[in-house]
């Protein structure tokens, strides 16, 4: 996903605990490596997160050096598959600090990410969705608004996974 954004001319501030992932992008022009999620959030107009488990999501968003501590980010878009409960918890905590949140889990795997053909199931404020839909369209071919309530994107992703497993 990062490479697709770079190919479209975006500048990226990145933070990842996986040093191999950081090394892959470190030499790219328009990439700045940050020391913490807080550092990213303090400088970015939007933060995209794609994290492996709900605990990581909560740490990056709400931890001691997390996004919530920066207080400056106007929007966080969560591309993780973290579950309804985690999405709602993070959305509520960020909203309490004036940070807007879109729950936007993706489906399509590594190949979909590389080709920009992911499905993106977004829930959250509809005006915020409209603002950031073009950005999400760079990483996903099918970008859907599934409702205004955070967590509905997660619910849709889980339903999609269940339906896919029956085919």
Residue pLDDT tens, the chain, 167 long: 999 999 999 999 999 999 999 999 999 999 999 999 999 999 999 999 999 999 999 999 999 999 999 977 889 999 999 999 999 999 999 999 999 999 999 999 999 999 999 999 999 999 999 999 999 999 999 999 999 999 999 999 999 988 888 86
DSSP 10-49: --EEE--S-HHHHHHHHTSTTEEE-SSHHHHHHH-S-EEE
For residue 167, the model assigns a pLDDT of 63
**Active site annotation includes 157:** yes
For residue 164, the model assigns a pLDDT of 84
Residues in the chain: 167
For residue 72, the model assigns a pLDDT of 75
pTM, rounded to two decimals: 0.95
Supply 111's token pair.
């190949």
49 near 60, Cβ under 8 Å?
A: yes
For residue 150, the model assigns a pLDDT of 95
For residue 90, the model assigns a pLDDT of 97
Which 8-state DSSP code applies to residue 28? Answer: S
Q: How far is the CA of 110 from the CAs of 25, 30, 93, 124, in angstroms?
A: 16, 23, 30, 25
Q: How far is the CA of 59 from the CAs of 38, 67, 86, in angstroms?
A: 11, 9, 11
Of 26, 97, 157, 160, catalytic? 157
């Amino acid at each position: 996903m990062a490479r697709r954004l770079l190919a479209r001319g975006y500048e990226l501030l990145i933070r990842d605990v996986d040093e191999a992932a950081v090394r892959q992008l470190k030499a790219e022009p328009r990439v700045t490596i940050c020391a913490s999620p807080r550092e990213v959030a303090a400088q970015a107009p939007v933060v995209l997160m794609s994290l492996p488990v709900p605990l990581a999501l909560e740490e990056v968003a709400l931890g001691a050096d997390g996004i919530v501590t920066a207080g400056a980010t106007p929007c966080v878009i969560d591309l993780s598959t973290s579950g309804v409960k985690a999405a709602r918890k993070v959305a509520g905590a960020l909203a309490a600090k004036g940070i807007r949140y879109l729950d936007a889990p993706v489906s399509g795997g590594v190949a979909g990410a590389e080709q920009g053909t992911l499905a993106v199931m977004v829930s959250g404020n509809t005006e915020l969705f409209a603002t950031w839909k073009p950005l999400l369209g760079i990483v996903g071919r099918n970008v859907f608004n599934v409702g205004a309530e955070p967590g509905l994107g997660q619910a849709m992703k889980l339903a999609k996974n269940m339906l896919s497993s029956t085919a």
